[in-house]
Structure 1
Amino acid sequence: MRSVALAVLVSFVLAGCAATRETAVVSVAQIEIIDDGGAGQVIRPADQAKLDALPAIWRAVWGQSPGRVRAVEGALLEPGAALDHPELSPGSYNCRLIRLGRRAGARRMRSFPTHFCHVGAANGGLNFTKQTGSDLPAGHLYKTEKRYTFVGALQRAQGDNSLVYGTDQARDIAGVVERVGPFRWRMVVPVGEQDLDVLELTPVPVERQAS
Protein backbone atom coordinates (compact mmCIF):
# COMPACT_ATOMS: atom_id res chain seq x y z
CA MET A 1 0.00 0.00 0.00
CA ARG A 2 1.12 3.52 -0.56
CA SER A 3 0.57 6.61 1.52
CA VAL A 4 -0.87 9.61 -0.25
CA ALA A 5 -0.69 13.09 1.22
CA LEU A 6 -4.09 14.71 1.08
CA ALA A 7 -4.76 18.40 1.48
CA VAL A 8 -7.43 18.87 4.13
CA LEU A 9 -8.91 22.16 5.08
CA VAL A 10 -8.51 22.63 8.77
CA SER A 11 -9.62 25.98 10.03
CA PHE A 12 -12.70 28.07 9.55
CA VAL A 13 -13.66 31.66 10.28
CA LEU A 14 -16.63 33.75 9.31
CA ALA A 15 -16.29 37.24 7.94
CA GLY A 16 -18.73 39.70 6.42
CA CYS A 17 -20.66 42.86 6.90
CA ALA A 18 -23.68 41.10 8.39
CA ALA A 19 -24.81 37.66 9.49
CA THR A 20 -26.40 37.08 6.11
CA ARG A 21 -23.13 37.89 4.37
CA GLU A 22 -20.85 35.39 6.11
CA THR A 23 -17.89 34.13 4.08
CA ALA A 24 -16.11 30.80 4.54
CA VAL A 25 -12.35 31.21 4.90
CA VAL A 26 -10.10 28.17 5.17
CA SER A 27 -6.44 27.29 5.54
CA VAL A 28 -4.68 24.14 4.41
CA ALA A 29 -2.75 21.41 6.19
CA GLN A 30 -1.64 17.91 5.21
CA ILE A 31 -2.79 14.52 6.43
CA GLU A 32 -2.19 11.00 5.20
CA ILE A 33 -4.48 8.04 4.77
CA ILE A 34 -3.70 4.62 3.41
CA ASP A 35 -4.63 4.13 -0.24
CA ASP A 36 -3.89 0.93 -2.13
CA GLY A 37 -6.00 1.68 -5.14
CA GLY A 38 -9.63 0.96 -4.28
CA ALA A 39 -12.37 2.12 -1.96
CA GLY A 40 -13.10 -1.42 -0.82
CA GLN A 41 -9.45 -2.12 -0.08
CA VAL A 42 -8.72 1.00 1.91
CA ILE A 43 -11.30 0.20 4.61
CA ARG A 44 -10.66 -2.07 7.58
CA PRO A 45 -12.82 -5.23 7.56
CA ALA A 46 -14.87 -4.02 10.54
CA ASP A 47 -15.77 -0.78 8.77
CA GLN A 48 -16.44 -2.58 5.49
CA ALA A 49 -18.86 -4.83 7.38
CA LYS A 50 -20.74 -1.76 8.59
CA LEU A 51 -21.08 -0.48 5.04
CA ASP A 52 -22.21 -3.91 3.85
CA ALA A 53 -24.92 -3.85 6.55
CA LEU A 54 -25.97 -0.28 5.73
CA PRO A 55 -28.95 -1.13 3.45
CA ALA A 56 -30.56 -3.34 6.11
CA ILE A 57 -29.89 -0.85 8.91
CA TRP A 58 -31.26 1.96 6.77
CA ARG A 59 -34.51 0.14 5.97
CA ALA A 60 -35.06 -0.67 9.63
CA VAL A 61 -34.37 2.88 10.81
CA TRP A 62 -36.52 4.37 8.06
CA GLY A 63 -39.39 2.12 9.05
CA GLN A 64 -39.20 3.40 12.63
CA SER A 65 -39.04 7.08 11.66
CA PRO A 66 -42.13 9.21 12.39
CA GLY A 67 -44.31 9.95 9.38
CA ARG A 68 -43.85 13.69 9.81
CA VAL A 69 -40.09 13.24 9.54
CA ARG A 70 -40.47 11.37 6.27
CA ALA A 71 -42.76 14.09 4.92
CA VAL A 72 -40.47 16.96 5.88
CA GLU A 73 -37.11 15.45 4.93
CA GLY A 74 -38.22 13.45 1.91
CA ALA A 75 -35.44 12.00 -0.22
CA LEU A 76 -32.75 13.11 2.20
CA LEU A 77 -33.47 10.16 4.50
CA GLU A 78 -35.17 7.72 2.15
CA PRO A 79 -33.30 4.50 1.29
CA GLY A 80 -32.80 4.05 -2.41
CA ALA A 81 -33.21 7.75 -3.22
CA ALA A 82 -29.69 8.18 -4.64
CA LEU A 83 -29.51 9.81 -8.07
CA ASP A 84 -27.02 9.44 -10.89
CA HIS A 85 -24.13 11.88 -11.32
CA PRO A 86 -23.07 12.19 -7.66
CA GLU A 87 -20.09 14.43 -8.43
CA LEU A 88 -19.26 17.00 -5.75
CA SER A 89 -17.61 20.28 -6.70
CA PRO A 90 -14.79 21.58 -4.49
CA GLY A 91 -15.89 24.39 -2.22
CA SER A 92 -17.74 25.25 0.97
CA TYR A 93 -20.97 23.50 1.97
CA ASN A 94 -23.68 23.97 4.55
CA CYS A 95 -23.97 20.70 6.45
CA ARG A 96 -26.77 19.65 8.80
CA LEU A 97 -26.61 16.51 10.90
CA ILE A 98 -29.70 14.35 11.38
CA ARG A 99 -29.42 11.45 13.80
CA LEU A 100 -31.74 8.47 13.34
CA GLY A 101 -32.34 5.47 15.58
CA ARG A 102 -31.99 4.73 19.27
CA ARG A 103 -29.27 7.33 19.89
CA ALA A 104 -31.69 10.02 18.74
CA GLY A 105 -33.98 9.46 21.73
CA ALA A 106 -37.63 8.49 22.05
CA ARG A 107 -38.59 10.22 18.81
CA ARG A 108 -35.95 8.24 16.89
CA MET A 109 -34.87 11.41 15.09
CA ARG A 110 -32.87 14.47 16.08
CA SER A 111 -31.81 17.37 13.86
CA PHE A 112 -28.83 19.55 14.76
CA PRO A 113 -28.00 23.14 13.72
CA THR A 114 -26.38 23.74 10.35
CA HIS A 115 -22.59 23.97 10.29
CA PHE A 116 -19.91 24.30 7.62
CA CYS A 117 -18.00 21.66 5.66
CA HIS A 118 -15.49 21.82 2.86
CA VAL A 119 -14.75 19.60 -0.13
CA GLY A 120 -11.25 20.00 -1.51
CA ALA A 121 -9.41 18.60 -4.52
CA ALA A 122 -6.10 16.82 -3.96
CA ASN A 123 -4.02 14.34 -5.98
CA GLY A 124 -6.80 13.74 -8.47
CA GLY A 125 -9.38 12.99 -5.77
CA LEU A 126 -11.49 14.73 -3.18
CA ASN A 127 -11.18 15.21 0.56
CA PHE A 128 -13.89 16.21 3.00
CA THR A 129 -13.73 18.19 6.24
CA LYS A 130 -16.46 19.23 8.63
CA GLN A 131 -15.13 22.52 9.95
CA THR A 132 -17.52 23.57 12.71
CA GLY A 133 -19.70 21.84 15.28
CA SER A 134 -18.98 19.03 17.72
CA ASP A 135 -18.62 15.98 15.43
CA LEU A 136 -15.75 16.75 13.04
CA PRO A 137 -15.10 14.04 10.43
CA ALA A 138 -12.22 14.57 8.02
CA GLY A 139 -10.98 12.20 5.35
CA HIS A 140 -11.09 11.18 1.72
CA LEU A 141 -13.89 10.51 -0.79
CA TYR A 142 -13.54 7.56 -3.16
CA LYS A 143 -15.75 7.72 -6.26
CA THR A 144 -17.82 4.79 -7.47
CA GLU A 145 -20.60 4.70 -10.07
CA LYS A 146 -23.43 6.31 -8.07
CA ARG A 147 -21.77 7.40 -4.84
CA TYR A 148 -18.61 8.15 -2.96
CA THR A 149 -17.24 6.07 -0.12
CA PHE A 150 -16.00 8.26 2.71
CA VAL A 151 -13.12 7.07 4.89
CA GLY A 152 -11.78 9.28 7.66
CA ALA A 153 -11.57 10.01 11.36
CA LEU A 154 -13.44 12.13 13.88
CA GLN A 155 -11.13 14.98 14.86
CA ARG A 156 -10.68 16.13 18.45
CA ALA A 157 -11.10 19.87 17.86
CA GLN A 158 -11.85 22.42 15.16
CA GLY A 159 -8.77 23.23 13.14
CA ASP A 160 -6.90 20.08 14.21
CA ASN A 161 -6.88 17.40 11.51
CA SER A 162 -4.02 15.39 12.95
CA LEU A 163 -6.05 12.18 13.23
CA VAL A 164 -6.07 9.98 10.14
CA TYR A 165 -7.96 6.80 9.40
CA GLY A 166 -6.42 3.85 11.24
CA THR A 167 -4.74 5.91 13.94
CA ASP A 168 -7.47 5.41 16.55
CA GLN A 169 -10.09 2.81 15.67
CA ALA A 170 -12.54 4.37 18.12
CA ARG A 171 -12.49 7.51 15.96
CA ASP A 172 -12.46 5.84 12.54
CA ILE A 173 -15.51 6.61 10.42
CA ALA A 174 -16.77 5.24 7.11
CA GLY A 175 -19.88 6.11 5.15
CA VAL A 176 -21.33 6.85 1.73
CA VAL A 177 -22.10 10.13 -0.03
CA GLU A 178 -24.96 10.29 -2.53
CA ARG A 179 -26.76 12.96 -4.51
CA VAL A 180 -30.47 13.17 -3.65
CA GLY A 181 -31.55 16.32 -5.50
CA PRO A 182 -30.34 19.41 -7.37
CA PHE A 183 -27.36 20.72 -5.39
CA ARG A 184 -28.23 18.41 -2.49
CA TRP A 185 -26.17 15.50 -1.19
CA ARG A 186 -26.15 13.30 1.90
CA MET A 187 -23.38 11.57 3.80
CA VAL A 188 -24.75 8.50 5.56
CA VAL A 189 -22.72 6.84 8.32
CA PRO A 190 -23.85 3.61 10.04
CA VAL A 191 -23.32 3.85 13.80
CA GLY A 192 -23.85 0.54 15.56
CA GLU A 193 -26.57 -1.85 14.43
CA GLN A 194 -29.64 0.40 14.70
CA ASP A 195 -28.43 3.96 14.20
CA LEU A 196 -27.53 6.27 11.33
CA ASP A 197 -25.99 9.70 11.10
CA VAL A 198 -27.08 11.59 7.98
CA LEU A 199 -25.26 14.77 7.01
CA GLU A 200 -27.13 16.95 4.51
CA LEU A 201 -24.78 18.86 2.19
CA THR A 202 -25.81 21.93 0.18
CA PRO A 203 -23.36 24.36 -1.44
CA VAL A 204 -22.67 27.69 0.23
CA PRO A 205 -23.89 30.43 -2.19
CA VAL A 206 -21.23 31.69 -4.59
CA GLU A 207 -21.13 35.17 -3.02
CA ARG A 208 -20.21 33.62 0.34
CA GLN A 209 -17.52 31.27 -0.96
CA ALA A 210 -13.93 32.08 -0.06
CA SER A 211 -12.19 33.87 -2.90
Structure 2
Amino acid sequence: MPGSTAAVSPLRLTSKLGALAAVALLSACAAAEAVAPPPPPPGPPSSGAVQRLDWRGVITSVDRDRYQRRDAAWSLALEQARRQRGSGDLASLGDLIQPRAARGRVAPPAGNYRCRTVKLGSQGGEDGLGYVVYGWFSCRIEQTPRGLKFSKLTGSQRPSGLLFPEDDRHMVMLGSMSLAAEPAANSYGRTPDRDLVAVLERIGDARWRLVLPWPQNESNLDLIELVPT
Protein backbone atom coordinates (compact mmCIF):
# COMPACT_ATOMS: atom_id res chain seq x y z
CA MET A 1 0.00 0.00 0.00
CA PRO A 2 1.37 3.44 -0.99
CA GLY A 3 2.74 5.46 2.00
CA SER A 4 3.11 2.38 4.25
CA THR A 5 6.46 0.89 5.54
CA ALA A 6 7.58 -2.24 3.67
CA ALA A 7 7.73 -5.31 5.87
CA VAL A 8 11.17 -6.90 6.40
CA SER A 9 11.23 -10.62 5.91
CA PRO A 10 12.54 -12.76 8.78
CA LEU A 11 15.34 -14.14 6.53
CA ARG A 12 16.68 -10.68 5.65
CA LEU A 13 16.48 -9.60 9.31
CA THR A 14 18.44 -12.64 10.38
CA SER A 15 21.15 -11.96 7.75
CA LYS A 16 21.52 -8.33 8.85
CA LEU A 17 21.78 -9.29 12.51
CA GLY A 18 24.39 -11.93 11.65
CA ALA A 19 26.48 -9.41 9.70
CA LEU A 20 26.29 -6.89 12.57
CA ALA A 21 27.39 -9.58 15.04
CA ALA A 22 30.36 -10.55 12.86
CA VAL A 23 31.47 -6.92 12.58
CA ALA A 24 31.18 -6.51 16.37
CA LEU A 25 33.21 -9.68 16.95
CA LEU A 26 36.00 -8.58 14.60
CA SER A 27 36.13 -5.15 16.25
CA ALA A 28 36.40 -6.74 19.69
CA CYS A 29 39.22 -9.04 18.54
CA ALA A 30 41.13 -6.12 17.02
CA ALA A 31 40.75 -4.12 20.23
CA ALA A 32 41.93 -7.07 22.31
CA GLU A 33 45.01 -7.52 20.10
CA ALA A 34 45.82 -3.82 20.37
CA VAL A 35 45.88 -3.87 24.16
CA ALA A 36 47.25 -7.40 24.70
CA PRO A 37 50.46 -7.37 26.83
CA PRO A 38 53.73 -8.52 25.21
CA PRO A 39 54.82 -12.11 25.86
CA PRO A 40 56.86 -12.59 29.05
CA PRO A 41 60.69 -12.74 28.71
CA PRO A 42 62.28 -16.19 28.65
CA GLY A 43 63.01 -17.66 32.05
CA PRO A 44 66.51 -18.19 33.45
CA PRO A 45 68.53 -21.11 32.07
CA SER A 46 67.99 -24.45 33.71
CA SER A 47 70.43 -25.56 36.38
CA GLY A 48 72.01 -28.00 33.93
CA ALA A 49 72.82 -25.35 31.29
CA VAL A 50 76.42 -24.23 30.82
CA GLN A 51 76.78 -20.47 31.28
CA ARG A 52 79.63 -19.37 29.00
CA LEU A 53 81.84 -16.66 30.48
CA ASP A 54 84.56 -14.55 28.87
CA TRP A 55 87.81 -14.84 30.81
CA ARG A 56 88.79 -11.30 29.75
CA GLY A 57 86.06 -9.95 31.99
CA VAL A 58 87.30 -11.98 34.97
CA ILE A 59 91.11 -11.91 34.83
CA THR A 60 93.02 -9.59 37.16
CA SER A 61 95.52 -7.06 35.82
CA VAL A 62 98.42 -9.03 37.34
CA ASP A 63 97.39 -12.25 35.63
CA ARG A 64 96.70 -10.44 32.36
CA ASP A 65 100.33 -9.30 32.43
CA ARG A 66 101.51 -12.87 33.12
CA TYR A 67 99.39 -14.18 30.26
CA GLN A 68 100.66 -11.58 27.80
CA ARG A 69 104.29 -12.33 28.72
CA ARG A 70 104.08 -16.11 28.51
CA ASP A 71 106.45 -16.28 25.51
CA ALA A 72 109.10 -14.53 27.62
CA ALA A 73 108.47 -17.04 30.41
CA TRP A 74 109.04 -19.92 27.99
CA SER A 75 112.26 -18.38 26.68
CA LEU A 76 113.82 -17.66 30.07
CA ALA A 77 112.68 -20.90 31.69
CA LEU A 78 113.99 -23.13 28.90
CA GLU A 79 117.30 -21.26 28.78
CA GLN A 80 117.79 -21.80 32.51
CA ALA A 81 116.62 -25.43 32.36
CA ARG A 82 119.11 -26.32 29.63
CA ARG A 83 122.00 -24.51 31.31
CA GLN A 84 121.58 -25.17 35.00
CA ARG A 85 121.52 -28.39 36.98
CA GLY A 86 118.12 -29.92 37.67
CA SER A 87 116.19 -32.84 39.09
CA GLY A 88 114.69 -35.51 36.84
CA ASP A 89 114.96 -36.51 33.18
CA LEU A 90 114.38 -33.38 31.12
CA ALA A 91 115.32 -35.05 27.81
CA SER A 92 112.50 -37.60 28.11
CA LEU A 93 109.68 -35.03 28.19
CA GLY A 94 109.42 -34.56 24.41
CA ASP A 95 106.63 -32.24 23.27
CA LEU A 96 105.76 -31.36 26.85
CA ILE A 97 108.55 -28.76 26.85
CA GLN A 98 108.19 -27.63 23.24
CA PRO A 99 106.55 -24.15 23.16
CA ARG A 100 104.83 -24.69 19.77
CA ALA A 101 103.50 -28.20 20.35
CA ALA A 102 99.80 -27.30 20.62
CA ARG A 103 97.35 -29.23 18.42
CA GLY A 104 93.73 -28.69 17.47
CA ARG A 105 90.63 -30.00 19.27
CA VAL A 106 91.92 -28.80 22.63
CA ALA A 107 88.82 -29.40 24.79
CA PRO A 108 89.54 -32.39 27.07
CA PRO A 109 86.91 -34.94 28.10
CA ALA A 110 85.63 -34.82 31.66
CA GLY A 111 87.06 -37.52 33.88
CA ASN A 112 90.03 -38.56 36.00
CA TYR A 113 93.60 -37.98 34.91
CA ARG A 114 97.15 -38.78 35.92
CA CYS A 115 99.10 -35.55 36.17
CA ARG A 116 102.64 -34.43 36.91
CA THR A 117 104.24 -31.03 37.32
CA VAL A 118 107.44 -29.91 35.62
CA LYS A 119 109.01 -26.69 36.88
CA LEU A 120 111.30 -24.86 34.46
CA GLY A 121 113.68 -22.04 35.34
CA SER A 122 114.52 -20.61 38.73
CA GLN A 123 113.41 -17.42 40.45
CA GLY A 124 116.60 -17.77 42.50
CA GLY A 125 118.81 -17.29 39.46
CA GLU A 126 121.98 -19.34 39.33
CA ASP A 127 121.51 -20.62 42.87
CA GLY A 128 118.30 -22.51 42.10
CA LEU A 129 117.52 -25.66 40.14
CA GLY A 130 117.01 -25.11 36.43
CA TYR A 131 114.24 -27.69 36.33
CA VAL A 132 112.39 -30.19 38.51
CA VAL A 133 110.39 -33.14 37.12
CA TYR A 134 107.92 -34.42 39.71
CA GLY A 135 106.15 -37.77 39.91
CA TRP A 136 102.55 -38.53 39.01
CA PHE A 137 99.54 -37.39 41.03
CA SER A 138 95.75 -37.42 40.59
CA CYS A 139 93.77 -34.74 38.79
CA ARG A 140 90.24 -34.33 37.53
CA ILE A 141 88.36 -32.39 34.87
CA GLU A 142 84.64 -32.01 35.48
CA GLN A 143 81.72 -30.29 33.78
CA THR A 144 80.13 -27.60 35.96
CA PRO A 145 77.31 -25.08 35.29
CA ARG A 146 80.05 -22.52 34.51
CA GLY A 147 82.09 -24.76 32.21
CA LEU A 148 84.96 -27.22 32.54
CA LYS A 149 86.90 -27.17 35.80
CA PHE A 150 90.38 -28.56 36.45
CA SER A 151 91.47 -29.74 39.90
CA LYS A 152 94.69 -31.31 41.11
CA LEU A 153 93.55 -33.67 43.86
CA THR A 154 96.78 -34.85 45.49
CA GLY A 155 100.18 -33.39 46.31
CA SER A 156 101.35 -30.44 48.38
CA GLN A 157 100.55 -27.87 45.65
CA ARG A 158 97.04 -28.27 44.25
CA PRO A 159 95.90 -25.73 41.64
CA SER A 160 92.32 -25.65 40.44
CA GLY A 161 90.32 -23.36 38.19
CA LEU A 162 87.80 -22.85 35.40
CA LEU A 163 88.76 -23.51 31.78
CA PHE A 164 87.54 -20.83 29.36
CA PRO A 165 87.29 -21.56 25.61
CA GLU A 166 89.65 -19.39 23.56
CA ASP A 167 90.20 -21.07 20.17
CA ASP A 168 90.70 -24.54 18.68
CA ARG A 169 94.19 -24.88 20.20
CA HIS A 170 93.91 -23.06 23.51
CA MET A 171 91.78 -22.74 26.62
CA VAL A 172 92.54 -20.25 29.38
CA MET A 173 92.36 -21.29 33.02
CA LEU A 174 91.88 -18.83 35.88
CA GLY A 175 92.31 -20.43 39.26
CA SER A 176 93.91 -20.53 42.66
CA MET A 177 96.50 -22.60 44.49
CA SER A 178 95.91 -24.53 47.70
CA LEU A 179 98.86 -25.77 49.74
CA ALA A 180 99.49 -28.66 52.12
CA ALA A 181 96.32 -29.61 54.03
CA GLU A 182 94.26 -26.59 52.91
CA PRO A 183 90.85 -27.23 51.29
CA ALA A 184 90.56 -26.99 47.52
CA ALA A 185 90.98 -23.44 46.25
CA ASN A 186 87.98 -21.85 44.52
CA SER A 187 88.37 -18.13 45.17
CA TYR A 188 90.01 -16.58 42.12
CA GLY A 189 90.51 -12.84 42.53
CA ARG A 190 90.09 -12.84 46.32
CA THR A 191 93.59 -13.92 47.39
CA PRO A 192 96.10 -12.34 44.98
CA ASP A 193 99.11 -14.33 46.19
CA ARG A 194 97.29 -17.58 45.32
CA ASP A 195 95.83 -16.54 41.94
CA LEU A 196 97.13 -18.15 38.76
CA VAL A 197 96.57 -18.07 35.02
CA ALA A 198 97.28 -21.01 32.74
CA VAL A 199 96.84 -22.06 29.11
CA LEU A 200 95.55 -25.55 28.34
CA GLU A 201 96.89 -27.20 25.16
CA ARG A 202 96.57 -30.65 23.62
CA ILE A 203 99.99 -32.06 22.73
CA GLY A 204 99.14 -35.66 21.76
CA ASP A 205 96.32 -38.06 20.93
CA ALA A 206 95.44 -38.29 24.64
CA ARG A 207 97.88 -35.89 26.25
CA TRP A 208 97.37 -32.32 27.45
CA ARG A 209 99.38 -29.72 29.33
CA LEU A 210 98.62 -26.68 31.43
CA VAL A 211 101.18 -23.91 30.94
CA LEU A 212 101.50 -21.58 33.95
CA PRO A 213 103.71 -18.54 33.17
CA TRP A 214 105.44 -16.69 36.01
CA PRO A 215 104.11 -18.72 38.97
CA GLN A 216 104.14 -17.16 42.42
CA ASN A 217 107.10 -19.18 43.71
CA GLU A 218 110.20 -21.16 42.72
CA SER A 219 110.14 -21.42 38.91
CA ASN A 220 109.52 -19.15 35.93
CA LEU A 221 107.23 -21.58 34.09
CA ASP A 222 105.23 -24.53 35.39
CA LEU A 223 103.85 -27.30 33.18
CA ILE A 224 101.20 -29.78 34.32
CA GLU A 225 100.98 -32.83 32.07
CA LEU A 226 97.59 -34.55 31.88
CA VAL A 227 96.90 -38.11 30.70
CA PRO A 228 93.47 -39.77 31.12
CA THR A 229 93.43 -42.71 33.49
1:127-175 alpha-carbon deviations (Å, 9 max, x no partner): 1110000111111000111111011111245582254101211111111
Aligned residues: 172
Q: Greater strand share, 1 or 2?
A: 1
Q: Relative contact order (C-alpha < 8 Å, sep 6+): which is higher?
A: 1
Unpaired runs of 5+ residues, structure 2, are 1-50
- Map of 1:1-211 to 2, 5 A cutoff? 37-66=53-82, 71-103=91-123, 106-123=128-145, 125-145=147-167, 146-157=169-180, 160-161=183-184, 163-191=186-214, 195-204=220-229
Tell me if the contact between 1:58 and 1:196 (Cα under 8 Å) persists in the aligned partners.
Answer: yes
Q: TM-score, normalised by structure 2?
A: 0.67
Amino acid at match of 2:63: D
Tell me the distance in 2 between the aligned counterparts of 1:124 and 1:197. Answer: 25
Tell me if the contact between 1:66 and 1:107 (Cα under 8 Å) persists in the aligned partners.
Answer: no
Task: Assess, with a 3 A threshold, how the Cα gap between structure 1 residues 197 and 177 changes in structure 2: closer, same or farther.
Answer: same
Tell me the distance in 1 between the aligned counterparts of 2:105 and 2:214. Answer: 26
Match of residue 6 from structure 2: none
Task: Assess, with a 3 A threshold, how the Cα gap between structure 1 residues 111 and 103 changes in structure 2: closer, same or farther.
Answer: farther
Tell me the distance in 1 between the aligned counterparts of 2:89 and 2:185. Answer: 36
Amino acid at match of 1:201: L
Amino acid at match of 2:212: V
Task: Assess, with a 3 A threshold, how the Cα gap between structure 1 residues 198 and 166 changes in structure 2: closer, same or farther.
Answer: same
Tell me the distance in 2 between the aligned counterparts of 1:155 and 1:113. Answer: 18
1:30-86 alpha-carbon deviations (Å, 9 max, x no partner): xxxxx9931222100110110100012202222333389663211101111111111
Amino acid at match of 1:41: G
Q: CA deviation at 1:87?
A: 1.3
Q: TM-score, normalised by structure 1?
A: 0.73
Amino acid at match of 2:82: P
Give the secondary-structure state (helix, strand or coil) at the position aligned to 1:76.
Answer: helix
Unpaired runs of 5+ residues, structure 1, are 1-34, 205-211
Tell me if the contact between 1:62 and 1:79 (Cα under 8 Å) persists in the aligned partners.
Answer: no
Tell me the distance in 2 between the aligned counterparts of 1:195 and 1:53. Answer: 11
Amino acid at match of 2:158: L
Task: Assess, with a 3 A threshold, how the Cα gap between structure 1 residues 129 and 192 changes in structure 2: closer, same or farther.
Answer: closer
Give the secondary-structure state (helix, strand or coil) at the position aligned to 2:70.
Answer: helix
Identity of aligned residues (%): 29
Q: Greater helix share, 1 or 2?
A: 2
Task: Assess, with a 3 A threshold, how the Cα gap between structure 1 residues 192 and 160 changes in structure 2: closer, same or farther.
Answer: closer
Tell me if the contact between 1:180 and 1:186 (Cα under 8 Å) persists in the aligned partners.
Answer: yes
Amino acid at match of 1:62: L
